A and B are shown apart, each in its own frame.
Chain A
Amino acid sequence: MSKVRFYFRIYLKILSQDIKSRMSYRSDFIISMIGMIFTNAAELAAFYIMFQNFNSVCGWTYYEMLFLYGFSLVALTPMQCLFENNWNLSGYVRRGDFIKYCFRPVNVFFYYISEIFDVKGLGQLAMGIGTLVYSWIKLELPVTPLLLLELLVALASASLFFIGIMNFAAAVCFYLINTGFLIGTVSKFRDYAKYPVTIFNKGFRFLFTFIIPIAFIAYYPSLVIMRPTEIPLLTWLAPAFGVLFFYASYKFWMYGASKYSGTGS
């Protein structure tokens, strides 16, 4: 227990350093925030335009699709805010700067990840919550403590899946040199998470459920709230799967880091 307290204290210290240094570039902070909100607003506009021409997609109404979208935005926020440093990993490894993280008496993954807190992710969180609440009201879903608890668990497990996917993509650079572009491609998968997996045929449904588990980022977990009468087994398994998947990605990351030998300079 004291170990957890120790790590928590370090985390806050590292975090506050990062936020302080970010705040010295105030215009960058503001522009990034606007950029983030801009991105989500354009996606919402695309949704709106699409549903001007079509009433439903595969039996999913406009507001249900909005719910999925809002859910995915909130679920993606922890990766955006807390695990952002994964994006820089391949650069650190190639240049040899990664070695500095190996000399600290704390967990390498923990230390590396806590170094950056991405504030602009909060803009995405705000958009996500807004969309979620709006569609929740329009869908006339009830508000009960149990449902809110389910929502939190569902969001947490969805987040773990996306963080896991990104951990895997980032850690590949420990095994193969120069794979910085990989994380860009993989992060695009987030755009696909907002669609119900039922639009795919069996083969792709399997692919997006078990191989590249993007269906767990919004679809499976949000069914618990949106369609409580037809919850599949996978929805109930999502939290356990999420923890396992994240743990596997963490092990993959750590094993890669333990193999890291610097650039020899």
Chain B
Amino acid sequence: MNQATKTFTKFNPKAYFTLIKSSIMEYMQYRMSVVVMLFGNMMYLIIIYNLWKAIYASVDTPTVNGMTFTDTMIYLVLASAQFSFMEAYLVWEMGRGIQNGDIVIQLIKPMSYEMYQLFIIAGGNFFNFVVTFIPTFFIVQIVTDWAIPMGINLLYYLAAVLLGSMINFAVDYFVGTICLYTHSIWGINIMKEILVTFLSGATVPLAFFPEVLYRIVMFLPFHAIYNTPLTLLIHNDLPVAEVGRMLLTQLVWVVVMFAAARGFWKVSEKVITVNGG
């Protein structure tokens, strides 16, 4: 491990770039899955559109909690599209690696396991972002008659989504480490998925949450994964100071979550017991 840590401290962009590239190439092989994923997103779009149209039709006011029908729909559809490009099944990957012993191969590589996974996942995220999120974004734009402003907010979104996916990775890495102890994957992963999507506002927009719950949620890191990027994307009338505050909050969470995940992994690394050693 010492050896690995030493090599890893020498920042080696070429190695990381190779990882990103190889994971993109792996994804390219599954072209069918992209089509199905897009189809899944479209189905979700149809359902959400009709559901919320029916919901808004049953109230008299056009806005509820400051959200119009279009706002809500854009928010939910993009949250789901963001979920599908961010979800890289790291908890599964780590859990399986622990169960079948493959993790050992990665541990002896001259790069920390964390960095290895980070760049593999970065490649996958990037690929899925381009082939599923961007098309979904344009379909939403066409359906809603270009409701999302095309200005500086797009840049804010890119910055925020980058930070958000880093927080997401750190959460995944932390949760994946739990698998070292429990040897259970499905249960741990589903709990993570539900916690993250629910508390980040991907299931129901945070604006609809009751006051108390909303305050609690804002103290947790999850809102920075979905709510912050999407808020920055949809609203282009936010003052710069507010944008700065939101991005800074994200940055703080990136640091905190990475420190937590790394610390937890360091402590837990010693308990790895693999099939047949």
On A, residues with C-beta under 8 Å from B are 25, 27-28, 30-36, 38-39, 42, 45-46, 49-50, 52-59, 120, 176, 178-179, 181-182, 185, 188-189, 192, 195, 198-201, 204
Q: B36, B189, B203: which contacts A185 (Cβ < 8 A)? A: B36
Contact A38 B182 (CB under 8 A): no
Query: Which one of B54, B187, B188 contacts A120 once the chains associate, using CB atoms below 8 Å?
Result: B187
B44 adjacent to chain A (CB < 8 Å):
yes
Provide the residues of chain B in CB contact with A45, threshold 8 Å: 198
Assess the A52–B210 pair: CB atoms within 8 A.
yes
A52-B210, A53-B65 are known contacts. Are A46 and B198 too (CB-CB below 8 A)?
A: yes
Contacts of B53 in A (CB 8 A): 199
Contact B37 A58 (CB under 8 A): no
Question: Are A32 and B51 interface neighbours, CB within 8 A?
Answer: no
| Contact status of A50 and B187, CB under 8 A, knowing A185-B36, A192-B47 | no
Contact B30 A178 (CB under 8 A): yes
In the complex, what's the smallest C-beta–C-beta distance from B58 to chain A, in angstroms? Answer: 5
A36 touches B190 (CB 8 A): yes
Q: Are B208 and A42 in contact (CB under 8 A)?
A: no
Q: A28-B184, A181-B36 are in contact. Are A54 and B58 (CB under 8 A)?
A: yes
Name the residue of chain B whose CB is nearest to the CB of A35.
B187
Task: Determine if B183 is an interface residue (Cβ-Cβ < 8 Å).
Answer: yes
CB distance from B102 to the nearest CB of A (A): 16
Q: How large is the interface on B (under 10, 10 to 19, 20 to 34, 35 or more residues)?
A: 35 or more
Please report whether the interface of chain B is mostly helix, strand, loop or mixed according to DSSP. Answer: helix
Known: A30-B187, A35-B187. 13 other contacts (CB 8 A): A25-B184, A28-B187, A31-B182, A34-B191, A35-B186, A36-B187, A53-B64, A57-B58, A58-B55, A181-B32, A181-B37, A195-B47, A200-B50
Q: Which of B47, B53, B195 has the most CB of A within 10 A?
A: B47
Q: A39 with B190: in contact, given A28-B182, A46-B203, A58-B54 (CB under 8 Å)?
A: yes
A63 to chain B, nearest CB (A): 15
What is the distance, in angstroms, from B100's C-beta to the closest C-beta of chain A? 13
Per CB-CB distance, the 5 closest pairs between chain A and chain B, nearest first, are A31-B187, A35-B187, A28-B184, A32-B187, A199-B54
Which residues on A sit within 8 Å (CB–CB) of B208? 49-50, 52-53
Residues in B lying within 8 Å of A, measured CB to CB: 30, 32-33, 36-37, 39-40, 43-44, 46-47, 50-51, 53-55, 57-59, 64-65, 182-184, 186-191, 194-195, 198, 203-204, 208-210, 213
Q: Contact check, B203 vs A57: say whether CB atoms are below 8 A apart.
A: no
- Residue in B46, B186, B198 whose CB lies within 8 Å of A32: B186
Min CB distance A264 to B, Å, is 20
Quick one: closest A residue to B181, CB to CB? A27
Structural contact, B44 and A188, CB atoms closer than 8 A: yes
**Looking across the interface, which residue of chain A has its beta carbon closest to that of B186?**
A32
Return B74 CB to nearest CB of chain A, in Å: 17
- Which residues of A sit under 8 angstroms from B194, Cβ to Cβ? 35, 38-39, 42
Q: Give the residues in chain A near B191, CB-CB below 8 Å.
A: 31, 34-35, 38
List the A residue with the shortest CB-CB distance to B178: A31
Q: Tell me which residues across on chain A come within 8 A of B43, comparing CB atoms.
A: 188-189, 192
Chain B's closest residue to A54 (CB) is: B55
Nearest B residue to A43 via CB reads B203
- Chain B, Cβ-Cβ closest to A49: B204
Bound state CA distance, A25 and B208, in angstroms?
40
Chain A residues contacting B184 (CB-CB under 8 Å) are 25, 27-28, 31-32
Shortest CB-to-CB span from A188 to chain B, Å, is 6
Cα-based distance from A58 to B182 in the complex (angstroms): 45
Task: Name 25 interchain pairs, CB-CB below 8 A, sorted by A.
Answer: A25-B184, A27-B183, A28-B186, A31-B184, A31-B188, A31-B191, A34-B187, A34-B191, A35-B186, A35-B188, A39-B194, A42-B198, A50-B55, A53-B208, A54-B58, A54-B59, A57-B54, A58-B57, A120-B187, A181-B33, A181-B37, A185-B39, A195-B47, A199-B50, A199-B51
Q: Are B33 and A33 in contact (CB-based, < 8 A)? A: no
Contact residues in B for A28 (Cβ distance below 8 Å): 182-184, 186-187
Given contacts A46-B203, A55-B58, A181-B37, contact A35 B182 (CB under 8 A): no
CB–CB B183/A25 < 8 A: yes
- Tell me the nearest residue of chain A to B193, going by C-beta: A39
Give the complex CA separation of A33 and B190 in angstroms.
Answer: 11
Which residues of chain A are within 8 angstroms of B213 by Cβ–Cβ distance?
Answer: 49
Query: Hey, which chain B residues are within 8 Å of A120, CB to CB?
Result: 186-187
Q: How far is the CA of A125 from the CA of B6 in the complex (A)?
A: 52
* Residue on A nearest B39 in the bound complex, by CB: A185
Q: Is there an interface contact between B190 and A35, defined as CB atoms closer than 8 Å? A: yes
Closest A residue, CB atoms, query B188: A31
Residues of A near B46 (CB, < 8 A) are: 204
Q: Quote the shortest CB–CB distance from B198 to chain A (angstroms).
A: 5
How far, in angstroms, from A55 to B64 measured CA to CA in the complex? 12
Would you call B188 and A182 a contact (CB within 8 A)?
A: no
Task: Give bound CA distance, A198 to B184, whole Å.
Answer: 40
Contact in complex: A49, B47 (CB < 8 Å): no
